[in-house]
Amino acid sequence: MEFGFYMPTRVKIGKNCVLKNSDDFKIGTKALIVTGKSSAVNGALDDVLNVLNKNNTEFVIFDKVMSNPTVECVYEGAEVAVEEEVDFVIAIGGGSPMDAAKAVALLAVSDLDRIQLFGSDIGHRALPMIHIPTTAGTGSEVTPYSILTNHEKQTKKSIASDCLFPQYAFLDAKYMQSISHDVMVNTAIDALSHSVEGMLSVKANIMSDIVAAEAIRLISSQFKNLKEGIADKEILLYAAMLGGVVISQTKTTAVHAMGYPLTYFKNIDHGRANGLLLGEFMKYTEKYEPLRVKKILSVMGIENTAEFKNIFIELLGKRDNFSVDELEMYSYISEDTGGVKNSIHRPNVDEILEIYTKSLID
């Protein structure tokens, strides 16, 4: 046996966990709250402001984070952090505000240009962070990744460093009461995808597999409820966090790498993009690693990969339109990415095109 495991984020789960743990918010003297246009208006911002006022902690709000945050947005946030001399960051929202907050926390203390930002030498420092997820999908609250839209590369690119692990994550499903049906479905699929991909990663280990299997079991138990709009949000929030724990060890695979161009060029939601591709990637991997795939199917209580693919067809509804030319371009963009290289069986460019075509056109 040979493997390592690192998970430095202190996670607190449960109703009113922010209000009940106000002392944990004393990790600095002035906070930058990083959030999106609507992701804070669900009670989360009120609770945080309540706690900061109780602690006599100063704060500034940066609420300009859009879905799939851009490099420009995080430099703007970092400028505010420096000007306002904040010494910690509080992220409130889905994966977009949480990922933006990580890059802001990094850029607030490190003078990195746009090329260095995505390089391997970003240093080891970032402002301390508290993350409050308001979607049940990305698990970004427990990962060391920040994924940003990079127009120069015409896709989404990851920044990865242990210094991007938040110090605290507070998970309270009460913030998810007014979430839309589509966001609920897409984010649940993203969370499932993290755990499935974690089990199909070259970095999978016995511990990440245990966590992934539990997340897959929990999310699968909610598929029927998701369709009917009555999913248990607390279970999904917990399972999404477990999925984050998984990819913090294993990273994601070809599914995420191939999903990024769908989001970049067609504005397809991150979780939906993964869900459109996951079925065919499982079928592809089954040819080379049948036992791994069987293990995932058995956790879900299903017989075969056709049944697996069908779950996503039913959840995602009508497919988006793609041309062969578009899929060829996406195949070349995805081919040389870390995600593709991280897959237990690595598809070449022709196989990537085949997975795209079978997923999106056939």
Which residues of this chain interact with ligand NAP, rule CB under 6 A? 36-39, 42, 67-68, 93-97, 99, 134-135, 137-138, 140, 143, 145-147, 156, 175-176, 178-179, 183, 187, 190, 270-271
Q: Which helix H or strand E contains 337, and what residues bound it? A: none
DSSP labels for 220-283? HTTHHHHHHT---HHHHHHHHHHHHHHHHHH---HHHHHHHHHHHHH---HHHHHHHHHHHHHH
For residues 277 and 305, which CB has a smaller minimum distance to ligand NAP in the complex? 277
**Range in contact with Zn ion (rule: CB under 5 A) among 39-47, 59-67, 168-176, 189-197:** 189-197
**For ligand NAP, which is the closer residue by CB, 67 or 201?**
67
Give, in order, the Cα–Cα distances in Å from 332 to each of 153, 292, 353: 12, 27, 9
Neighbouring C-beta atoms of residue 274, cutoff 10 Å? 30
Beta strands 168-171 and 58-65, pairing class = unpaired
**Residue placing its CB nearer to ligand NAP in the complex, 77 or 97:** 97
Taking the complex as a whole, the smallest distance from the CB of residue 194 to Zn ion amounts, in Å, to 6
Kindly state the tokens that stand for 223: 């598929």
**Could you tell me how many residues of this chain bind Zn ion (CB under 5 A)?**
1
User: Min. distance of Cβ 71 from ligand NAP in angstroms?
Assistant: 12
Contacts with 91 (C-beta within 8 Å, 6 or more apart), sequence order: 33, 34, 35, 97, 98, 100, 101, 102, 129, 130, 131, 132, 141, 166
**Contact yes or no for 196/36 (Cβ under 8 A):** no
Work out what residue 176 binds among ligand NAP, Zn ion, none; the CB cut-off runs from 5 to 8 Å by kind.
Answer: ligand NAP
Stretch that binds Zn ion, among 22-30, 155-163, 184-192, 337-345 (CB under 5 A): 184-192
Q: Which of ligand NAP, Zn ion, none does residue 99 bind (CB under 5 to 8 Å by kind)?
A: ligand NAP
64 or 358: whose CB is closer to ligand NAP?
Answer: 64
Pick the closer one to ligand NAP by CB: 57 or 231: 231
Q: What's the CA gap between 272 and 256, in Å, rounded?
A: 11
| Residue 110: CB minimum distance to Zn ion, A | 25
Please identify the residue of the shown chain whose CB is closest to the bound Zn ion: 190
Residue type, 56: N
Q: Which is nearer to ligand NAP, 179 or 218 (CB)?
A: 179
Question: Which residues face 132 on adjacent strands?
Answer: 92
Could you tell me the smallest distance in angstroms from the CB atom of residue 287 to ligand NAP? 27
**Least CB distance to ligand NAP at residue 6 (A):** 15
Q: Is 190 in the site for Zn ion (CB under 5 A)?
A: yes
The end-to-end CA distance of the chain, in Å, is 43
Residue 220 CB, shortest distance to ligand NAP, in Å, is 19
Min separation Cβ 306 and ligand NAP, Å? 27
- Among residues 45 and 344, whose Cβ is nearest to ligand NAP? 45
Q: Which stretch binds Zn ion (CB under 5 A): 64-72, 74-82, 183-191, 223-231?
A: 183-191
CA torsion, points 78, 83, 92, 210, in degrees to nearest 10?
50
**Partner whose binding site includes residue 134, from ligand NAP, Zn ion, none (CB under 5 to 8 Å by kind):** ligand NAP
Q: What are the beta bridge partners of residue 54?
A: none
Any idea what the Cα angle at residue 263 is, between residues 204 and 137, rounded to 5°?
A: 50
For the record, the structure tokens of 61 come out as: 């709000």
Choice between 43 and 338, CB closer to Zn ion: 338
We find the least distance from the C-beta atom of residue 109 to Zn ion, in angstroms, to be 27
Alpha-carbon span 345 to 354, nearest angstrom: 15
Q: Which is nearer to Zn ion, 98 or 112 (CB)?
A: 98
Least distance in angstroms from the C-beta of 317 to Zn ion: 20
Residues that bind Zn ion (CB under 5 A): 190
